[in-house]
Structure 1
Amino acid sequence: MMLLRVIVSPQEIRRVTLQELSAEFSRIVTKDLLDSFLDGLDALVPGVLQMYGEAAASGRRVRLSSVLSCLHKEDTNQNKKAAVLLGLPCYLAEDSSDIIRMCDAHGETLDVLMSGMQVGLLIGHEGPLHDAFPLDVFNVALVVEEKIILHDLRDVSTGIAMLLGAIYCLNLEYPRNMKYYFEFLQRVVMNIKPDQCSARIHGLRNKMLRYRM
């Protein structure tokens, strides 16, 4: 398939499947997108959460306290991974509001929620959101050029993996407001050309290694 044709123009954007996106990523990178992402993430979760806890306690990243408090309510593996992925922009002092948006099933319309999204993720939940992130996600959708191209993803981790895969397969630049976030996913989580990471991500990776020792 030619996934690059998905984004030729807004009129020609079409839906893709998880299998199509994964296959195109594998063709380009020779890695399994979802398995590599989840395996890499699983290995990092304990150290990253410890790092978040230290940053929140020091007062350097107060918003991380609300992310970590979600785990006191439901300390599942899925929620731990969601906390890592959704807390990372805060830790890196980046703005995720144009890329990752929460979607109340009974709230604003999809057109409103997708407004201005060049590439991003909608995380669907039921009712008002009282926590830093929804503990019960019913749908995650991938958005390109204000259109949903992939939906019914089962959790935040799968959604972020597909978002990274879409950016990679479409040969898009990382969104400016989250460039270190996606570099971390590529270089550290996926271990794709880790020797080419920026000084900031190199420093973060070394810091994380200390937590894992």
Structure 2
Amino acid sequence: MVISKGLKTDILDTLADSMSKISAYPERQHYENVAKALVEKHPCLRDPGSEKGWYSWFHSLKFKLGNYRQKLSAAGCPEVIINKRKTGGSKGKSVKKSKKGEVNYCPDPPEGQNPERMEEKRKIMETEMQKKDPDHQLLEDLMVATFSKRRKEIIGDEPHITELISRWPALIQEKQIRAEFKRIVTTDLLVSFLDGLDGLVPRLLEMYKTATKSGKKQSLKDILDCLEKDDTKERRRAAALLGLPHYISGEDPSDVIRMCDAHVETLDEAMKGMQLGLVIGCEGGKQGFIPHEVFDVAVVVEETIVLHNVKDVAQSFAMLMGVIYCVNLKYPDAMKYSFEFIQRVVMKIKPDQASARVHGLRNRILRYKL
């Protein structure tokens, strides 16, 4: 079938409009899936002489989406505007787009709201947070109303953590981190983390034991030895999480997870050079590889404590994941596969897009029958 230029344009316009409603920046596989589905549903649209039959549609869709993003930018789409190249800006800058399964990565403003109104509400929130007993329901309502503005600032401006805390002091609270995470990913932070972890802990620990039988991975063996004296649910969770980077070859958790004596002034030293991670404050001096008594766990970003008074290692990992999503941070290179495993396998956020290493690790775990 010979397709006229006008008909092809109409088809591409319709597909581009539908795809952009899901994401303004589709991945390669998304273009391929749409092109393939198009010719499967309408065989008359197959490319003549092409083995796959949809390759020209794949390329046409990519160009069409590129042009369509210009229309989205003119219409005020926040996700496209923050990626608009400024005059004199770097031509090689990476596109700011959802990379960790965010559903509401950079949402449009609510109907009837504009930047000026949202800024007024932000100032009300800032004032409310200065009170000794702030109105938590008012804060929740203001956080919901200013979500679009906050995400645009965080993603577009990439402020330092101290500036972010200054402008959005309500965000860095445990309750609001959980609420913000749910707005971004549409799932409960603690429920998805702890339920997913509990389902994997027995298999992870068995996998760690197998890995230590060869005499290698001594640090992993030290973590498992800590469970022989105290094998509670909380410590098994901690062992599964703390052992993960030691099991994954090439990962070094020393810059991401650190321990210190809670009653000695060593906190500043423990945070030194830490861009993102956890500082676990223990009761007493030597606590082993899994602390018996956790006094306090602090979530640290850019050598700044953003959250503390977390009493459980597993919960502190969950809150760290929450902060990463709320502040739009990259996973630290030293533990990038461990964090990806937590996201895709433990929390089941976009599990189908796992890297080859995490996919292999997931398959290895499933082979352990308990």
**What TM-score comes out, normalization by structure 2 length?**
0.55
Q: Give % identity.
A: 57
Aligned to 1:64: 220
Displacement of 1:24 in angstroms is: 0.8
Displacement of 1:60 in angstroms is: 3.3
SS at match of 2:309: strand
Where do residues 79-158 of structure 1 align in structure 2 (5 Å cutoff)? Answer: 79-93=235-249, 94-158=251-315
SS at match of 2:216: coil
Q: 1:42 aligns with which of 195, 198, 206?
A: 198
Displacement of 1:62 in angstroms is: 2.0
Displacement of 1:108 in angstroms is: 4.5
Checking the alignment, whether the CA contact within 8 Å between 1:53 and 1:65 is kept in structure 2 is yes
Question: Are 2:191 and 1:52 equivalent residues in the alignment?
Answer: no
Displacement of 1:129 in angstroms is: 2.1
The CA RMSD measured in Å over matched residues stands at 1.7
Amino acid across the alignment from 1:75: D
Q: 1:29 aligns with which of 180, 185, 197?
A: 185
| Cα deviations by residue, 1:156-213 (Å, 9 ceiling, x for unpaired) | 0010011111112222111111110000000000001101001111011001001136
Aligned to 1:203: 360
How far, CA to CA, are the matches of 1:10 and 1:25 in structure 2? 17
- Could you list the structure 1 runs, at least 4 aligned residues long, displaced by more than 6 angstroms after superposition: none
Q: 1:17 aligns with which of 173, 179, 183?
A: 173
Amino acid across the alignment from 1:74: D
Identify if the C-alpha distance between structure 1 residues 40 and 10 changes in structure 2 by more than 3 Å, giving closer, same or farther.
closer
Deviates more, 1:22-31 or 1:56-65: 56-65
SS at match of 2:255: coil
SS at match of 2:253: coil
Deviates more, 1:31-40 or 1:11-20: 11-20
Checking the alignment, whether the CA contact within 8 Å between 2:245 and 2:252 is kept in structure 1 is yes
SS at match of 1:117: coil
SS at match of 2:334: helix
Q: 2:234 aligns with which of 56, 73, 78?
A: 78
SS at match of 2:331: coil
How far, CA to CA, are the matches of 1:138 and 1:180 in structure 2? 28
The structure with the greater share of residues assigned to strand is 1
SS at match of 1:58: coil
Identify if the C-alpha distance between structure 1 residues 19 and 122 changes in structure 2 by more than 3 Å, giving closer, same or farther.
same
SS at match of 2:318: helix
How far, CA to CA, are the matches of 2:246 and 2:331 in structure 1? 17
Amino acid across the alignment from 1:204: L
**What TM-score comes out, normalization by structure 1 length?**
0.93
Unaligned runs of 5+ in 2: 1-142, 144-149
How far, CA to CA, are the matches of 2:287 and 2:234 in structure 1? 18
- Structure with the larger RCO, 1 or 2 (CA within 8 Å, 6+ apart): 1
How far, CA to CA, are the matches of 2:353 and 2:215 in structure 1? 31
